[in-house]
Structure 1
């Protein structure tokens, strides 16, 4: 029993000694780190350029300079700060540059202002490379470009839209370099997918805009509206006219009229008249030894959305 107590006491003393040793080791490490960080170091770092106050009528091209290598003398604490959050170098186009031929130019002579606006007082700029930055620019072109909508819409049977879609805006103002904006002919929307529609459509759709930082767009989306109505089918008997028959020939044909099927809204159904349609058979389009015409619809009603002719063959004989 006495031996066990002695053994426990010995282990306790040893553990306390180990803990004290680890504590002193940690304190020594912290003191060493603080000692290192308190010293001044000189090193070169790469900084990206942040362009501000660029004139609106100019656009900076992608092939412009965008990096400065700066040799800095600073305390270790500051270098640690740079490691975790490397600042960007701001170039103010209203103060820091002068305009040349198709480019803005920044020179090393602005390093004093750079040290004031970007770095703390205890940071010394030793050198900057390159000593000149050139920002190529182009004059903006302003162009209105039409919007093309993409839809995948299905309606419940008996419902449809008659007057099509209304989109606002129907065009987008694009501002950017001439060579880029001039190549854009239209802007597409993302695809609007709707199923079993029977109510009016009123949706906002995003535009599929080119990913190019050199161009700006007046709108990011468009508003699409459509009136959904009840629809029905109807049919009318329309007489046939034969055209382009040589004067020396007489044609006998059958039937004399065809059935025209049309699809329209209930609102417009009573406005559809037989006189709105015109069906012809063109003698000039028949082939050799062909004994029938193919009727063509050359006139239709403004009140129908779609129309078709039921009869596809009109038999005929030539009388001499």
Structure 2
């Protein structure tokens, strides 16, 4: 049950809070209706830059200044983010690499765009805009990938990147240092069939560099392979006239992985192993065999014999 004392206290508390709120409101209105001074910060937004030019990264991005005025006006400026637009084309003259805006021009822009009447102590006594030529060139794309294939499957041919190069444009000093554009890392495991994917390109850190396109497609072909062994005769080149040799061995076994569809189509004529007599190792009487001809679509080619010994018959 609510006591009589509690009932008497509630109206008193409500009255106290009302008058406290009223006093705070009067204080707020009195304080902010007076003229005062504040420091404001505004970002600079450079617009209408000629197509052949870009602004370098060392240009001023914001300025501060002191402003006098009604407290409510200053509070509204403090609470919202302001931006000062600088029309570059209005100040640019052909072949300029630097544009200078004097203090008077900066002051006029602030007063007009931000609707202020009295400012002072502008942080920049003059505004210097540094320009660079907007260069462009076409450079190759570098695929960053980690791809593994299912057991018995291998990649068929090269990975196709479409397109294989990209147009970049931006400040010439930045463009000149870029020689390729990498893709984001592409990962796939246990690939056993052809696949096509779209991958985004990694944009240079300089925001003024523009890529076209911003992504590429890649195509990966996979085929089932099987191991095969063939014995290929050894051919000696650069043999001096009148010299006859006996080779040990006279033919070399090679092993490789070949796609299932090509398994029955290979012949000895598709391969060639040579030993160069002019590069023979006199001490030990042997030569190093080299496989100089084979179909390009084979995987893991290996010669079972690493050297060929010889006897000379005169």
Report the equivalent of 1:176.
Answer: 170
With 239-248 and 292-301 compared, the bigger mean Cα shift is at: 239-248
- Cα offset, 1:101, TM superposition: 2.8
Point out where structure 1 has 5 or more consecutive residues left out of the alignment: none
1:66-99 Cα offsets, whole Å, 9 max, x none, are 232233233322322333322121112234x333
Report the equivalent of 1:77.
Answer: 72
Report the equivalent of 2:138.
Answer: 144
With 102-111 and 173-182 compared, the bigger mean Cα shift is at: 102-111
Q: Answer yes or no: is the 8 Å Cα contact 2:149–2:155 preserved in 1.
A: no
Q: How does 1:217-256 map to 2 (within 5 A)?
A: 217-247=211-241, 249-256=243-250
- Cα offset, 1:241, TM superposition: 0.8
1:257 to 244, 251, 255: 251
Report the equivalent of 1:101.
Answer: 96
Q: How does 1:108-127 map to 2 (within 5 A)?
A: 108-109=104-105, 111-116=107-112, 118-120=113-115, 123-127=116-120
Report the equivalent of 1:266.
Answer: 260
- Cα offset, 1:10, TM superposition: 3.4
- Cα offset, 1:173, TM superposition: 0.8
Q: Answer yes or no: is the 8 Å Cα contact 2:54–2:170 preserved in 1.
A: yes
With 198-207 and 248-257 compared, the bigger mean Cα shift is at: 248-257
Structure 1 runs of 4+ with >6 Å offset: none
Distance in 2 of aligned mates of 1:40 and 1:259: 98
Q: Answer yes or no: is the 8 Å Cα contact 1:43–1:72 preserved in 2.
A: yes
Report the equivalent of 2:203.
Answer: 209
- Partner of 1:17, secondary structure, is helix
- Partner of 2:188, secondary structure, is strand
- Cα offset, 1:296, TM superposition: 0.8
1:158 to 127, 152, 162: 152
Distance in 1 of aligned mates of 2:203 and 2:142: 12
Q: How does 1:56-95 map to 2 (within 5 A)?
A: 56-95=51-90
- Partner of 2:183, secondary structure, is strand
1:184-235 Cα offsets, whole Å, 9 max, x none, are 1111112211001112121111222221023211122211112222222323
- Cα offset, 1:238, TM superposition: 1.4
Report the equivalent of 1:310.
Answer: 304
Report the equivalent of 2:187.
Answer: 193
Distance in 2 of aligned mates of 1:98 and 1:295: 70
- Partner of 2:12, secondary structure, is helix
Distance in 2 of aligned mates of 1:221 and 1:104: 36
Q: Answer yes or no: is the 8 Å Cα contact 2:43–2:61 preserved in 1.
A: yes
Point out where structure 2 has 5 or more consecutive residues left out of the alignment: none
TM-score w.r.t. length of structure 1: 0.87
- Cα offset, 1:315, TM superposition: 2.8
Q: Answer yes or no: is the 8 Å Cα contact 2:54–2:134 preserved in 1.
A: yes
The size of the alignment, in residue pairs, is: 311
Q: Answer yes or no: is the 8 Å Cα contact 2:155–2:221 preserved in 1.
A: yes
2:5 to 4, 10, 13: 10
Report the equivalent of 1:22.
Answer: 17
The change in CA–CA distance for 1:84 and 1:275 in structure 2 (over 3 A counts) is: same
- Cα offset, 1:145, TM superposition: 0.9
